[in-house]
Chains A and B, each alone.
Chain A
Amino acid sequence: MALRIGVFVCDCGTNIAGFLDVPKVCEYAKTLPDVVYVKENMYTCSNAGIQEIMDAIKKHKLNRVVVAACTPRTHEALFRKACEDAGLNKFLFEFVNIRDQCSWVHQKEREKATEKAKDLVRMGVARARLLEPLKEIKIDVEKKSLVIGGGIAGMTAALSLAEQGFEVYLVEKENRLGGLLNYINQIYPSDANAQQFLEEIVKRVEKKKKIHVLLNSEVESVDGYIGNFNVRIRQKKESKEIKVGTIIVAIGAKPYEPMHMYNYDEYENVITQFELEKILKEKGKIDAESVVFIQCVGGRGERVRYCSRICCMNSIKNARIIKKMMPNANVYIIHKGMQTYGTEYEEYCRKAREEGVRFIRVRDAVPTVTSLEKKDGRIAVGFYHPGLRRKVEIQADLVVLSTPLIQREDAKRISQMLKVPLGQDGFFFEAHVKLRPVDFATDGIYMAGSCRAPASIDECIMQALAAASRAAIPMAKGYVEAEPLMPLIDESKCMGCGVCVEVCPYGAMKIVEKNGKKVAENIPAACKGCGACGASCIHKAIKMHHFADEQIMAQIEEAI
């Protein structure tokens, strides 16, 4: 069929027409090959402008539409829809950016801006000529979810998904649910009994018919993509396979063990915060008249670089418990700036002060204290006091080391298995720090809790609910749509070298065997159409739909 291209050039009020000669650009567009219709609009995006596009498609039998206007960022979808509504495949639409990239940046060079707009229109028309109709892809989504990790985050996410009507497999490698919460005495800032809370939530999880709790279990392998993950789970000696649509990673973290630091392995009355928590939970008392908490042991540049976020509040919590039990005890927290952010945490810290917990701020340097010496059964904790400007020693019966949460051993294995990244700090790496904090870049996989970064119980619960919301989206819809921008693989040229598999950031390429030959295959549901595979294929076996080499070369040729 002969090409019939329509070109619409927008004035954008004065945004474009004020800085370049739109009528001249229109006259020029009429001279371009295959262009059969050209129209200037005051606002192509207005209802009138959209109607004009639709009418022109029908009246002039246009089979390609080019709009030269503001920016595709905000308006491409609108014009594509106009094409679709008029019966033209929306991938036969081409956007030419003559506002953001032309009139706005050349406001004092009318002549040159007009010439540049002509160039841009010529390039757009050249590409439009080679556009091909494409169809969006719909992929069914299995309405089941896999939650890896049965701690507070995993359980909360599973419960929320079940409440929303989805079946959940909750996989826990230990023989009981609860994760780190099993070892916790009290929950801050409400001082709720942790074990009572744990018991209640475990009961709720076990009662939910839609949740399948798999204890003593590990995820052995995962393949597939959003909507269609095939998961192999090993439970003791048995192995079973399930199919799920989404996956939530909630494997938690573990407390750092400060071996060979702060005399931890030498003195028995130097313990970690985690050990103190266990003692308070099991015995409900300690035997000490003077207790010193030391913050940032191993954190903030000592063994790991990051701030572990939850340790300050943990120390305050336990300091208050001790102070309440033994009002005459001296309780010190040696810190580098208390991280008691927000409303409740700040208030919690203030209460501790009122109750007589003594806070001593030292410089943000490593180590937090300079010496721990055993003297007559007590420990002399020595450090430089910035306020007093000299070294100070405090006699302690018990020294509590606040150590950071660090990644679990299996984080690496799970990251490789799911093809999702870990950050430099060892925690799982989100799709976008600000706007997609519980999503992975790979569709259909989410995270919650301390495997993302150290988080308190309240933060774990919040993130778990958020992850449940994100995971519910494709499952509630029942399908995902993918733009057909994926690669087309020429199997006669493909050598199955696997470079495309390596460069794909979304796990959307794999090597399969076809007719006894290894070739690359694309997983449309996972593909974002970024083109990394196409650009890296040295055998030129990959063609990108909608961004084909010929289309781009045609544009470049017109430009030079």
Chain B
Amino acid sequence: MKGVLVIGGGVAGIQAALDLADRGIHVYLVEKEPSIGGRMALLDKTMSTNDCSICILAPKMNECFSHPNIEVLEYSEVIGVEGKAGNFKVKVKRKAKYVDATKCTGCGDCMEKCPTEIPNEYNSYLDKRKAIFLPFPQAVPRKATIDERYCLKLTKNRCGLCQKICKAEAIDYNQKDKIIELNVASIIVAIGSSLYEPKDLVEYGYGRYANVHTWMEYERLINAAGPTHGHLKCAPDGRRPKKIAFIQCVGSRDVKRCQWCSSVCCMVSIKSAMLANEHYGDLESYIFYSDLRVFSKRFYEYSKRGERDYKITYIHARPGEIKEDKRTKNLIIYYEDENEGKVKELEVEMVILATPIMPAKDVKQLAEILGIETNEYGFIKVKDYVFHPVETTREGIFVAGCCERPKDITESVVQASAAAAKAAEIAGLVEG
């Protein structure tokens, strides 16, 4: 019996892999990062229940990794696919980690001693990480990886400290990329998404004003494992804010940028505002929205709770501009107040921009390798939006999660299970 290949180890990929593996189908889970977990592993809390995101995901990540029917191929990429439904031959590149995974215990000694610091993508570039690293403390597998682009030993043949310090003798500078071949019956694509960078929206000052952040940066700022250990700090003096604002649809529902609605941002901002108020009881937040989209189970009630219990004020307006007070670094938001019909100012200490979910950066390339189509928005195209919601344009290849269109965790999980059902039909494990 042939197995199934799942591409992408975020919550959608993990769910699809577990559904298949639990019923006895062998699964290869290919993840391009050194750890599975995807974006959900980097979120602080999940909306509507305010559960700690990594705390509910980590058990699933571990379950996945230790499952007898799942082979996790982390730090790997699919580079070629041949064949057809029921019999795909897949080439996977396993990138060299320069660390022997069978010996590494994930103790972290090497990371402490490594002298090379580089911007940390797992903390939205808000702090630094080392050239030998774990993406985040709960990484699965908990094995170090050397970033060959920055390692002094690999780039300039200097240093070598990690090898000297590693008691497990796990460092291997001579490791090479490996190409392996898999034979699977079906494929599930769950590679996730990227996020819009609001740099061209100069009126909001992102990148120019120190106290303007994207929502993903905020997720890391409010997270205890993030660069500020969960404390909100404002430039220039590191004081904690008492008034913050969220601006919705920054780049989305915008025909010049992302014309779609990103589905999750309204709830994300409400959640973020709640968390800020949970951290600091006197903190007030303002959410500038176009249509507050709170359509899923218990979401509307949640938005009302935010207003009632967490000092959130919803303002129906699309701010025209933000200006920075040069001295205090406070931000002055200019918007049209619809109650009075005139332009008003609101001074806050931090602004969070709700930027949309976009197609993953490498989606086009992967789509080409897989022989599947993307749609007019750049997301992976399904055969039919209503009737075939998990089938791609190629038979035997299915899709789940945010690479198909923006969606929240619940909907990613639903689609992942749905894709698993379809993949299982082909996987030949048909009963009777």
A and B are partners in one complex rather than unrelated chains: yes
**6 nearest CB pairs, A to B:** A13-B107, A165-B431, A465-B418, A466-B417, A469-B421, A337-B291
Q: Which residues of B contact A47 (CB under 8 A)?
A: 102
Chain A residues closer than 8 Å to B297, beta-carbon distance: 306, 425, 427, 433, 452-453
A-B contact pairs, 19 of them (CB 8 A): A15-B108, A189-B386, A342-B405, A346-B261, A386-B316, A387-B338, A433-B48, A436-B413, A438-B414, A438-B417, A458-B386, A461-B386, A462-B414, A465-B390, A465-B418, A466-B418, A466-B421, A476-B23, A477-B23
Contact (Cβ within 8 A) B263 A341: yes
Collect the chain B residues with CB atoms within 8 Å of residue A12's CB. 107
Asked if A343 and B375 make an inter-chain contact with CB atoms under 8 angstroms apart, the answer reads yes
- State which of A38-46, A82-90, A106-114, A528-536 sits at the interface with chain B: A38-46
Residues of B within 8 A of A466 (CB): 413-418, 421
Known: A435-B60, A435-B413. A306 touches B418 (CB 8 A): no
A-contacting residues, B215-256, CB 8 Å: 253
Selected from A306, A341, A389, the residue in CB contact (under 8 A) with B339 is A389
How far is B57's CA from A46's CA once the two chains are assembled, in angstroms?
Answer: 24
Taking CB as reference atom, which chain B residue is nearest A46? B105
Contact (Cβ within 8 A) B425 A164: yes
Whether the Cβ atoms of B56 and A434 lie closer than 8 Å is yes
Q: What are the interface flags for A35-61 relative to B under an 8 Å C-beta threshold, 1 for contact and 0 otherwise?
A: 000000011011100000000000000
Complex Cα–Cα for A187 and B390 (A): 18
Q: Nearest chain-B residue to A364 (Cβ)? A: B292
Q: What is the chain A residue whose CB lies nearest that of B11?
A: A435
A476 touches B291 (CB 8 A): no
- Assuming the contacts A165-B430, A190-B385, A433-B298, asked whether A342 and B417 have C-beta atoms less than 8 A apart, the reply is no
Other-chain residue from A305, A337, A473 in contact with B23 (beta carbon distance below 8 A) = A473
Q: With the chains together, A469 CA to B109 CA distance in Å?
A: 43
Q: State whether B414 touches A342 (Cβ < 8 A).
A: no
B window 272-326: CB within 8 A of A: 289, 291-301, 304, 316
User: Which residues of B, 131-173, contact A by the 8 Å Cβ criterion?
Assistant: 167-168
CB atoms of B431 and A469 under 8 A apart: no
Query: Quick check: A341 and B295 within 8 Å, CB to CB?
Result: yes
- Given known A342-B263, A347-B259, A433-B297, contact A361–B62 (CB-CB < 8 A): no
Judge whether B51 is part of the interface by a CB distance below 8 angstroms: yes
A424-446: which have CB < 8 Å to B?
Answer: 425, 427, 432-438
Nearest-neighbour CB distance to chain A for B395, whole angstroms, equals: 14
**Shortest distance between the CB of B92 and any CB in chain A (Å):** 25
Q: Which of chain B's residues have a CB closer than 8 A to the CB of A163?
A: 425, 430
Determine the chain B residues whose CB is within 8 A of the CB of A307 once the complex forms.
Answer: 294-295, 299-300
Expressed in whole angstroms, the Cα–Cα distance for A340 and B291 within the complex equals 9
Scan A2-36; emit 1 where CB is below 8 A from any B CB, else 0.
Answer: 00000000001111000000000000000000000
Tell me the count of chain B residues lying within 8 A, CB to CB, of chain A.
79
12 A-B pairs besides A389-B341, A434-B413, A467-B417 with CB distance below 8 A are: A15-B108, A165-B430, A190-B384, A190-B385, A337-B291, A338-B291, A339-B295, A342-B405, A346-B253, A346-B259, A465-B417, A465-B418
What residues of chain B lie closer than 8 Å to A341, measured between beta carbons?
261, 263, 293, 295
CB 8 Å contact bits of A351-362 with B (1 = contact, 0 = none): 000000000010
Answer yes or no: A300 CB below 8 A from chain B CBs: yes
Whether A73 touches B59, Cβ cut-off 8 Å, given contacts A386-B338, A466-B414, is yes
Asked if A457 is at the interface of the complex by the 8 Å CB criterion, the answer is yes
Identify the interface centre among A190, A307, A468, A475: most chain B CB within 10 Å of its CB.
Answer: A307
Query: Chain B: which residue is nearest A296 at the CB level?
Result: B300
Complex CA distance for A342 and B253, rounded to whole angstroms: 10
A118 at the interface (CB under 8 A from B): no
Indicate if the CB atoms of A465 and B291 lie closer than 8 Å.
no
The answer to whether A77 touches B66, judged by C-beta atoms less than 8 angstroms apart, is yes
Chain B 10-26, CB within 8 Å of chain A: the 1/0 string? 01000100010011100
Chain B residues within CB distance 8 Å of chain A: 11, 15, 19, 22-24, 46, 48-49, 51, 56-60, 62, 66, 102-103, 105, 107-109, 167-168, 253, 259-261, 263, 289, 291-301, 304, 316, 338-341, 375, 377, 379, 384-387, 389-390, 405-407, 409-411, 413-422, 424-425, 429-432
Which residues of A are at the interface with B, using a C-beta cutoff of 8 A?
A: 12-15, 42-43, 45-47, 73-74, 77-78, 143, 160, 163-167, 187, 189-190, 192, 197, 210, 300-301, 305-307, 309, 337-347, 350, 361, 364, 386-387, 389, 423, 425, 427, 432-438, 452-453, 457-458, 461-463, 465-470, 472-473, 475-477
A427-B260 Cα distance, complex, nearest whole Å: 30
**How far is it, in angstroms, between the C-alpha of A163 and the C-alpha of B48 when the chains are bound?**
35
Which residue of chain A lies nearest to B407 when distances are taken between CB atoms in the complex? A342
Shortest Cβ distance from B258 into chain A, in angstroms? Answer: 9
Which residue of chain B has the shortest Cβ distance to A11 in the bound complex? B107
Q: Majority SS of interface residues in chain B?
A: loop
Closest residue of chain A to B291 (Cβ to Cβ) is A337
Q: How many A-B residue pairs have CB under 8 A?
A: 206
Instruction: Compute how far the CA of A462 lies from the CA of B399 in the bound complex, rounded to whole angstroms.
Output: 12
- Note all chain A residues with C-beta closer than 8 A to B57: 435
Q: Is the interface of A mostly helix, strand, loop or mixed?
A: loop
Measured CA separation A7–B429 after assembly (Å): 44
Residues of chain A lying within 8 A (CB to CB) of residue B418: 462-463, 465-466, 469
Docked complex Cα distance between A470 and B417 (Å) = 7
Cα–Cα distance between A476 and B375 once the two chains are bound (Å): 35
A164 with B385, Cβ < 8 A, contacts A341-B261, A462-B414, A477-B24 known = no
Measured CB to CB, the closest approach of chain A to B267, in angstroms, equals 10
- Is the Cβ of B253 less than 8 Å from the Cβ of A43? no
Query: Across the interface, which residues of B come within 8 angstroms of A423, CB to CB?
Result: 298
- Given known pairs A165-B430, A346-B253, A346-B259, the reply for A458 and B385 (CB within 8 Å) is yes
Assess whether A305 is in contact with B107, with CB atoms less than 8 Å apart: no
- Taken together as a complex, chains A and B put the C-alpha atoms of A443 and B386 apart, in Å, by 29
- In the bound complex, how far is the Cα of B300 from the Cα of A476, in angstroms? 38
Do residues A433 and B410 form an inter-chain contact, with CB atoms below 8 A? yes
Q: Are B414 and A305 in contact (CB under 8 A)?
A: no
| Given known A-B contacts A342-B405, A472-B23, A309 and B421 have beta carbons under 8 A apart | no
Instruction: Say yes or no: B421 contacts A306, CB within 8 Å.
Output: no
> Given A192-B386, A309-B296, is A434 in contact with B46 using a C-beta cutoff of 8 Å?
yes
Taken together as a complex, chains A and B put the C-alpha atoms of A452 and B260 apart, in Å, by: 26
The answer to whether A475 touches B431, judged by C-beta atoms less than 8 angstroms apart, is yes
| Contact A465–B431 (Cβ < 8 Å) | no
A90: min CB distance to chain B, Å:
15
Question: Whole-angstrom distance from the CB of B152 to the nearest CB of chain A?
Answer: 23
Tell me the smallest distance from the CB of B431 to a CB of chain A, in Å. Answer: 3
The docked-state distance in angstroms from the alpha carbon of A387 to that of B431 is 61
Q: How far is the CA of A462 from the CA of B398 in the complex (A)?
A: 13
Question: Is B105 a contact partner of A164 (Cβ separation < 8 A)?
Answer: no
**Distance in angstroms between the alpha carbons of A306 and B300 in the assembled complex:** 6
Task: Name the residue on B nearest A388 (C-beta).
Answer: B341
In the docked arrangement, what's the CA distance between A484 and B393, Å? 46
Q: Report the minimum CB–CB distance from A113 to chain B (whole Å).
A: 18
A142 to chain B, nearest CB (A): 12
The CA of A445 and the CA of B253, in the complex, are separated in Å by 39
* B46 partner residues in chain A, CB cutoff 8 A: 434
Q: In the docked arrangement, what's the CA distance between A381 and B221, Å?
A: 48
Q: Which chain B positions have C-beta within 8 A of A342?
A: 260-261, 263, 405-407
**Residues of A with C-beta under 8 A to B296:** 309, 453
Residues of B contacting A462 in the complex (Cβ-Cβ under 8 angstroms): 389-390, 411, 414-415, 418
User: Provided the pairs A190-B385, A342-B260, A473-B22 are in contact, do residues A164 and B430 lie with their beta carbons within 8 angstroms?
Assistant: yes
Contact of B414 (CB < 8 Å), options: A46, A300, A386, A437: A437
Contact B390 A189 (CB under 8 A): no
Closest residue of chain A to B56 (Cβ to Cβ) is A435
Q: Min CB distance, B421 to chain A, in Å?
A: 4
User: Nearest Cβ distance between residue A347 and chain B, in whole angstroms?
Assistant: 7
Q: Distance in Å from the Cβ of B298 to the closest Cβ of chain A? A: 7
Residues of B within 8 A of A433 (CB): 48-49, 297-298, 410
With A13-B108, A164-B431, A343-B375 as known contacts, state yes or no: A74 contacts B62, CB within 8 Å: yes
Q: With the chains together, A83 CA to B339 CA distance in Å?
A: 70
Which residue of chain A has the shortest Cβ distance to B14 in the bound complex?
A435
